[in-house]
Amino acid sequence: MSVAGILGQLFALVLALLLAPLLTGWVNQCRAWLQNRSAPPLWQPYYTLHKLFNKDVVLADGASSLFRVAPFVVFGAMALACAIVPSLSTDLPFAPAADALALVGVFGLARLFISLAAMDVGTAFGSLGGRREMLVGFLAEPALLMVIFTVAMIANSTSVAAIVATLAHRDFVIYPSLAFAGVAFTMVSLAENARVPVDNPATHLELTMIHEAMILEYSGRHLALIEWAASLKLYAYSCLGLAFFFPWGIAERDNLLALAAAVPLLILKLAIGGFLLALIETVNAKMRIFRAPEFLGTAFMLAVLGLLVRLLLETRV
């Protein structure tokens, strides 16, 4: 563990905290352009966060301590996830703390807390949203695990940093299994980040919302933390996708020049990814909630198929 490594790790974490709301703002802006609306400013998420942090917290009468703790746990889990996923460099001192499977666990922890907090106050919408979130989550998790297994089999390691090191810094090889895993991962991240085919992040229509239904009771700095955590989740998933499927440009160990080049490249990749996300959200209609199992089931199938293709095509018997 070198000093440069720790500095690089901290820099990646700070960059994640700062860039995540910007990514959300960029996606919202692209969505507005594509849908012929006038776009909100790129800095809108920062304004919202600033406003919310300055407001007082209003707590419901029945709120327990769980309700107050949950935003901090969720935010902490997402920040940890952003620290584990290699966005700039594979030299991450925090990375041995959790491999890709534990990363899924970190996401699961955040989901558990936010769902429990939603049910805690006892409003109808909260428990409805919490239950829907768990439904989507328990279907998305196995698919995400399968995607990770596919990628881990290529690298012979479940450590995210080792996977990226294998994919980015060895000879260029086309892995057909990654095509399957990539499609499955896209579907999972749409569901996990409350994006359009499964959930609409912009809606407050009671019958269709999932994520928004859970956080209705939050206000002030709690809401700010949850909003920020949602941005961080999108950022972490984007970086995970980029790390698995477009890893070129992520710096190697002890390579400061590459690290400096990695920052603009990451921003460029995130900008393209954000635009594609907005495009997906624009051309698709939101599904009925009961179609979500089918959607995520398909993602799971594709991930399993990727695993099978990996076994058939890419291993010499």
Partner 1 sequence: MSDVPLSAQLINLCAAAILLLAFAMLAQRRVLQLIDLFALQGFALFLSTLIVAVKTGQTHLYFSAALTLALKVAVLPLILRRLVQRLHVKGEVEPLINIPTTMLVGIMLVVVAFNVALPIAQLSATITRGTLGIALATVMLAFLMMITRKKAITQVVGFLAMENGLFLAATSATYGMPMVVELGIALDVLIGVIILGVFFFQIRDQFDSLDIHHLERLKDH
Count how many Cα atoms sit within 13 Å of the Cα of residue 82 in the half-sphere of its side chain.
25
Nearer to partner 1, 56 or 172 (CB): 172
The one-character DSSP state at 94 is T
Q: Which is nearer to partner 1, 149 or 175 (CB)?
A: 175
- Per DSSP, which regions of the chain are E strands? none
Which of 7/311 has CB closer to partner 1? 311
| Cβ neighbours of 72 (radius 10 Å) | 15
154-193: contacts with partner 1 (CB under 8 A):
170-171, 173-177, 179-180, 183
Helices (H) and strands (E) in the chain, counts: 11, 0
Kindly state the smallest distance separating residue 302's Cβ from partner 1, in Å: 7
Cβ burial, residue 292 (10 Å; 0-12/13-18/19+): buried
Count of residues binding partner 1 (CB under 8 A)?
27
Closest distance to partner 1 from the beta carbon of 310 (Å): 10
- Please report, for residues 7, 35, 196, the alpha-carbon distance to residue 283 in angstroms, rounded to integers and kept in the order given: 41, 10, 10
CB of 312 to partner 1, least distance (A): 5
Whose Cβ is closer to partner 1: residue 56's or residue 171's? Answer: 171
Considering only CA atoms, which of 71, 97, 88, 303 is closest in space to residue 183? 303
Q: In 35-175, which residue ranges form alpha helices assigned H by DSSP?
A: 44-53, 65-84, 100-120, 124-155, 160-169
Q: Check binding of 280 to partner 1 (CB under 8 A).
A: no
283 lies in the binding site for partner 1 (CB under 8 A)? no
Is the Cβ of residue 67 or residue 175 nearer to partner 1 in the bound state? Answer: 175
Closest CB 35 distance from partner 1, rounded Å:
23
**Contact flag: residue 261 with partner 1 (CB under 8 A):** no
Per CB under 8 A, does 308 bind partner 1? yes
Q: Which residues bind partner 1 (CB under 8 A)?
A: 170-171, 173-177, 179-180, 183, 293-294, 297-298, 301-302, 304-305, 308-309, 311-317
